[in-house]
Amino acid sequence: MTAPALPAAAAAPPGCRHCGAPLPVDGAPTARFCCAGCAAARATVEGLGLDRFYDRFVSDAALRPLRPDPDAHVDAAAFARDRGDGTATIHLMVDGLHCAACIWLIESVLARDPRVVHARVNMTTRRLVVHWRGAPELADSVLAPVARLGFALAPFDPTCLADAGSEEERRLLRSLAVAGFAAANVMLLSVAVWSGHDTGMGIATRDLMHWVSAAIALPAIAYAGRSYFAGAFRALSAGRTGMDVPIAIGVTLASAMSLFETIRSGPYAYFDSAITLLFFLLIGRYLDHRARGRAREAAGHLLALRVHAVTVKNADGSVERRPADRVRPGATVLVAAGERIGVDGSVTAGRSEIDTALVTGESMPAAAAPGTAVFTGTVNLSAPLTVRVTATGEGTLLSEIVRLMEAAEHGRSRMVALADRVARRYAPVVHVTALATFLAWWLGVGAPWQEALLYAVAVLIITCPCALGLAVPVVQIVASGGLMRRGVLLKSATALERLASADTVVLDKTGTLTLGRPRLLDEPGRDPADLAAAARLAAVSRHPLALALMASIDRPVAAADPVVEHPGKGLSWTGPDGEWRLGSRDFCGVVAAESDTPELFLTRAGRAPVRFAFADTLRADAADTVARLLRAGLRVMLLSGDRAPAVARAAAAAGIGEWRAATDPAAKVAALGELAQAGRRVLMVGDGLNDAPALAAASVSMSPAGAADVSQAAADVVFQGQALAPVAETIDVARAAARRARENLTLAVAYNLCAVPLAALGYVTPLVAAVAMSSSSILVIANALRLARGARR
């Protein structure tokens, strides 16, 4: 494992001496770095080496604030598990992760221990997974180096994932509100000053306007710009530049010059430029932070399906409730009807039906009998079951799906936005240009330093990356607003960009291409009396096929009484004319050819059996949407966990030529991996728990609003309604948004290429620079609004 290169570390928000990131939200003071990861990366880059760094870190007083509170300690051994192959494993949540350097440091320090065979950290969920040779009791000694580096370790709890992020989000929102309020009021005062410039406004009136603007703007700038000022100071202290530096310098000089001019009753004051700049940039930072926070929710929603306690039957026959992660393989667990299963295992006694929709994505319950495998997160529907445990905690299928999601998200998080790449080269050019302008006018031309500083401030203001910073976010805002009015919610800041580049659409079947609800098929010659008779039995059941049968009845029917429900088989009722049965062909004693569609049979004494066939219905516009996607040049595939005949019928009805059946979550991820290796950029559309890893693994993902919570959390886009058309419409909007974003970036760059020389030559005052900077932003916004007009058309 090698240290991360400096550009990778620079992708974090500017601040500390290595990456420029601001201090953690909790305000813990550090002398030089925002985190231990940055301190290690800097030391490695400077040739100190990881071993020497570690020894120095744990004893350096200057780095003491990065080390943990001696009272903060977790008994790691209590949460470690024996893997059964001579190794042990532990899953913990790491608090204090700031950037990629932190991940590299933790993994590198753990890799130094010869006992450790695997150590991985996921930035999104902050989960640390470690495998080592030896007993679980060695956990504390294995993890001791991580604790000494100042990273707080705690049992992995999805409810704690968003705590730190939510506090940062609230801080940004408060700063944004303050900056917006001040910008609106100061701009009104500035408009009055600008208008009075040509209409003979008195000096006293103008000065009053300036003082009022200062009273509003300066406190707001000090509050809203804290992160920029702190980030610029630390970046400059480390000999680096970033986007925060020109912003902080421009805002500070503009504010100081404005205050100086106001004190001496001068004509120029630029409070409006400073506070408006902060307001626009805070919008972009807030949107970016909120988008990153969404990613952390996916695994949290998924892990919420875990059952915290299960009913264990001991060898002596006694029964006790025990935490699911404390149950060992081989134990016997009792699962009541209606209870969510908390372990992976095999049924040893009882017959029931299992709602596996969250795992398989299929709406039909699966029969459970002795020998049937059951999984964590599924629901036992109709009768008690006895289950022998095969896996708990991190060994369950549910946890494996979480790991698949985390691995996929880790790969996708490496994408770097174009604006960030431009900004790394842009900021140093701005600084050098402003400094050269000042020196050229002061030393070269011989102008007074005040005038030279005025021109330098004009360069900083006119080159402040407001338009550049707005180029992409404003398009996202306009596009997401238009899509939201259509019932489409964008959850990721980069979803539009990735949708625009997608060239392959992979659809799930049940709940995505179809509605996910069984529907009774019409059969010629069916006697309505037979349907009414079947409904009398079905009225007492909550089985999906019984509910579908009841939904087809257009008038109320009286339920038979008493009806006996036979779990996994059907319903029976004994009346004056004998026994009636409604259920499977075996239960009803029907001998007929096997069918590949769901079915129920009604048998009554002295009458021929009546068959009721069901099918999952395609969304009404599924075929039209698939045809539209194909016309747009997209490759369309169908992946489903259902049986091959059902998948083949659905694919043919929708006009899809490529399909795969019986694909479990790992197979779906593998299929997407094959497409990615072939150079395809895949849009995955799915709705079930089994689709969640594929949604995370795809280049971009969509999910219907009726999907499982975890699928919605993993998806980049969620769409409302019964139609599939939003998939094609969102791609169209994304492609148009990509064009607008490129146009905006071109406008922003062209503006700077034209404006900077004029400012450096002294043809632009800070006042004109502020107007030009604001105008460039308005131009970018106006171009983005064309997207909304096109969407309405």
pLDDT given at position 765 = 63
pLDDT at 69 over 70: no
> Where does the pLDDT of residue 26 fall: very low under 50, low under 70, confident under 90, or very high at 90 and above?
very low
pLDDT at 117 over 80: yes
At residue 73, the 3 state secondary structure works out as coil
From the list 631, 649, 629, the residue with the least C-alpha distance to 640 is 649
Q: What DSSP designation does 269 have? A: -
- Alpha-carbon distance of 592 to 585, in angstroms, equals 8
Q: Which residues pair with 161 in a beta bridge?
A: none
Output the CA torsion 199→201→202→208 (10° steps).
-170
Average pLDDT, the chain: 75
- pLDDT digits 0-9 by tens, 461-482: 676 666 666 677 677 777 777 7
**b/e code 504-528 from CB counts within 10 Å (16+ = b):** bbbbbbbbbbbbbbbebbeeeeeee
pLDDT given at position 556 = 78
pLDDT given at position 685 = 93
Could you tell me how far CA 43 lies from the centroid of its own chain?
Answer: 33
- pLDDT digits 0-9 by tens, 142-183: 888 887 776 777 766 544 444 545 667 788 889 989 998 998
pLDDT given at position 634 = 94
Cβ(505)–Cβ(637) under 8 Å? yes
Q: Please indicate whether residue 508 is annotated as part of the active site.
A: yes
pLDDT given at position 633 = 93
Model pTM score: 0.52
pLDDT given at position 105 = 73
- Alpha-carbon distance of 28 to 231, in angstroms, equals 15
Cβ(293)–Cβ(234) under 8 Å? no
- Alpha-carbon distance of 590 to 754, in angstroms, equals 84
pLDDT given at position 390 = 87
Radius of gyration of the chain (CA): 32
Q: What is the mean pLDDT of residues 107-131?
A: 80
pLDDT at 36 over 80: no
Q: Which of 113, 207, 508, 616 does the annotation list as catalytic?
A: 508
- Alpha-carbon distance of 33 to 703, in angstroms, equals 41
Most confident of 81-90, 206-215, 351-360, 588-597: 206-215
> Where does the pLDDT of residue 691 fall: very low under 50, low under 70, confident under 90, or very high at 90 and above?
confident
Q: What DSSP designation does 578 have? A: E
pLDDT at 251 over 80: no
pLDDT at 1 over 60: no
Name the residue with higher pLDDT: 691 or 640. Answer: 640
Is the alpha carbon torsion for 40, 43, 412, 297 positive or negative?
A: positive
Q: What is the mean pLDDT of residues 269-288?
A: 73
Percentage with pLDDT > 70 across the chain: 70
pLDDT at 538 over 60: yes
pLDDT given at position 302 = 47
pLDDT at 47 over 70: no
- 49-63, 386-400, 406-420, 563-577: lowest mean pLDDT where? 406-420
Cβ(122)–Cβ(166) under 8 Å? no
Name the residue with higher pLDDT: 571 or 310. Answer: 571
pLDDT given at position 326 = 78
- Alpha-carbon distance of 275 to 350, in angstroms, equals 70
Q: 554: burial class by Cβ within 10 Å (0-12, 13-18, 19+)? A: exposed
* Cis status, amide bond into 329, omega within 30 of 0: no
332 φ, ψ (degrees, to nearest 5): -110, 130
Complete DSSP assignment for 734-756: HHHHHHHHHHHHHHHHHHHHHHH
Name the residue with higher pLDDT: 291 or 741. Answer: 741
pLDDT at 664 over 70: yes
Angle at 210 between CA 205 and CA 216, to 5 degrees: 130
pLDDT given at position 353 = 82
